[in-house]
Amino acid sequence: MSKLIAINTGLNSSAGYFEDGVPVFCIQEERLNRIKNYGGLPQKSLDVILNKHVNKKDVDKVVLTNEKPIVIDKQRYYNYYDRVFEDGIKLSEESLKIKDLKEKLKKTSFYGLVKKKEIRKEVPADADWLVSCGFDPSIIERVDHHLCHGSAVYYGLADDLNKDYLVFTLDGGGDGITSAVYRASGGNMALISSSDCYSIGNMYSAITYFLGFKPHEHEYKLMGLSPYVREEYAIEYRNYFRQFLDIDAKGKFYNPNPIYHSIFFSNLIQHFKKDRFDNIAAGIQLFCEEIVQKWIQINVALHGVPHILCSGGVFMNVKANLNLAMGQDVKSINVFPSCGDETNIFGAAFHTHNTQHKKLQLLTKFTLGTDPRADLEESLEKYNGISHRKVSNPAKQIAEYLKENKIVARCSGRMEFGARALGNRSIFANPDNLRNVNKINRAIKKRDFWMPFAPMVLEDDFEKYFRKPQANILGLSPYMMFAFDSVEKRRDEIICGLHQSDFTGRAQTINKVRYPEMYETLQNFKKLTGISVVLNTSFNLHGYPIVNNSSDAIEVLLKSEIDVLFIDDVEIQKQS
């Protein structure tokens, strides 16, 4: 049996332990140090792996998710945006001319996120750190950033070893490129094309920053805001963004005009001096949907392969994914769950394993983290102001509370990996009572009013509530990577789980095999109400990571207006 540890030291750093290519335990550093989207060395994650899952001397390989050494600190990342924005102001004030471009660029900060000298002053480089942790340098390997993205989705989700797939990766950049297209078949992946241009990922993050949000964290807020904008305004701003990015005849991204962060900000400052932020958000979202679909369509036509797999941070955009799934040119599509850099540990492990073994569907579940039972007894004794009791049938009791319009939190089983709460670290509510939206937003999540919640739906009843897209999606949406159009006549029953403007839902489909406990809960709720859907949102307070253990869960209960918490078969409530 091969034993491998994979490490991501970039933004949203993470670590995972794999046996024969299959994930055994995977976790993001943010869940342990409680710093959301933490970037850097995942020391606590590695410690858990070595203390609880594998002896260091038994590890065959340690694989890093970038060819070039990288350790990205989140604050430095934000400081970088501050610098290039200031450069953009200067360039705007100087009325930049194209003939002066090269000289002006030399004075800006676009050349890198952080300077290597700055990194080494505070933290060791990634491989040096692993050696300092006691690993032999001979077992440390690297896998290219975009090959990690592509390998994650191909080896993790592809369903047929003999089928041809096109694998698309797209993000803000890694190992010198921002997008790649691979042809995959027979357990092998071959690079067709790649681009190093300023990408839609860069543009979307720059707009996120420009509008006062956090880049590489709040892009989803722009996506959530955009449906409220009138179509003509979105089109107007989309047309503006078209001048910066296009697809050539070979299916590659390119920048029609020279464009880097500073230059892009300079254009924004000159063009958007008095513009509404919601119109700008809608414009970049519409352009994102358009340019990604154009890229896919051209490559599918060029290579004659209609089965596509997608990964990389841009594909966290569930509305763009819906757009792809509705296209006539794509026969099947899948997107790797939580496909930002945090999941590159899966691709690194899958690729390394498949250099010798050609296996697909290595990802069978995504609940790969810690179990709250480890600190349950200690936490029940630690906190005052709570009462608890054992419940013989938690699934039935949760369903009854939801029927009574109580807000229920669940911290049970192994924690989900990635950005989406999939039921084990979730907050639930009755989906047909619109007041629950304001209650959760005001008293628990404390987030922007326009952001939608998500529906969790029984897989067998999916088409009662949502329209199945043109393209086949294997397993529909077990990891919440697609939005779907809702069926109009059933909207009132599930209104809390839908976007309040366009009535789409980022649905999670539940079956008995993958999510047995949540399947039982939904079946009980269906018996009580006739509705096969519950509202689902992540179990955390605004600005904090999803809860990790029993202690985190009880703290959120006490600091919010959650009515009842379930940790496995223990029901916990605040004492009145």
Half-sphere exposure for 530 (CA within 13 Å, toward CB): 4
Asked if 11 contacts 349 with a C-beta cutoff of 8 angstroms, the reply is: no
Can you give the pLDDT at residue 114? Answer: 37
Domains 3-72+123-142 and 147-354 are alike in CATH topology: yes
Domain 147-354, what architecture? 2-Layer Sandwich (3.30)
pTM of the model: 0.94
Could you please report the per-residue DSSP string of 160-189? -TTS-EEEEEEEEEETTEEEEEEEEETTEE
The domain limits of the chain are 3-72+123-142, 74-116, 147-354, 373-574
Strands (E), 222-350: 246-247, 253-254, 307-311, 332-335
Residue-level pLDDT at 107:
52
Sequence-distant (6+) residues with CB within 8 A of 481 are: 315, 316, 318, 321, 335, 336, 337, 339
Residue 563 identity (one-letter amino acid): D
Cα–Cα distance between 262 and 177 in angstroms, integer?
19
Euclidean distance between CA atoms 98 and 328, whole angstroms: 40
Calpha distance 262→206 (Å, rounded) = 10
DSSP per-residue letters across 518-550: HHHHHHHHHHHHS--EEEEEESS-TTSPPP-SH
Q: How many angstroms separate the CA atoms of 538 and 415, rounded? A: 11
* Type and span of the H or E element at 439: helix 435-440
**At residue 205, what are phi and psi to the nearest 5 degrees?**
-65, -40
For residue 435, give Cα distances in angstroms to 157, 480, 529, 540: 38, 24, 17, 20
Instruction: Tell whether domain 373-574 is in CATH 3.90.870.20.
Output: yes
Closest CA to 187 of 440, 412, 447, 362: 362
CA distances to 184, 303, 336 from 314, in Å: 21, 22, 12
Residue ranges of the chain with pLDDT lower than 50? 98-99, 105, 109-121
- Give CA–CA dist 401/412, Å, rounded: 17
- What residues contact residue 355 under an 8 Å CB cut-off, 6+ apart? none
Calculate ∠ Cα 564-565-569, nearest 5°.
120
The CATH number corresponding to 3-72+123-142 among 3.40.50.80, 3.30.479.30, 3.30.420.40, 1.10.3720.10 equals 3.30.420.40
Residue 452: closest CA among 463, 444, 441, 462: 441
DSSP 8-state code for residue 367? B
**Cα angle value 26/12/348 (rounded, 5°):** 50
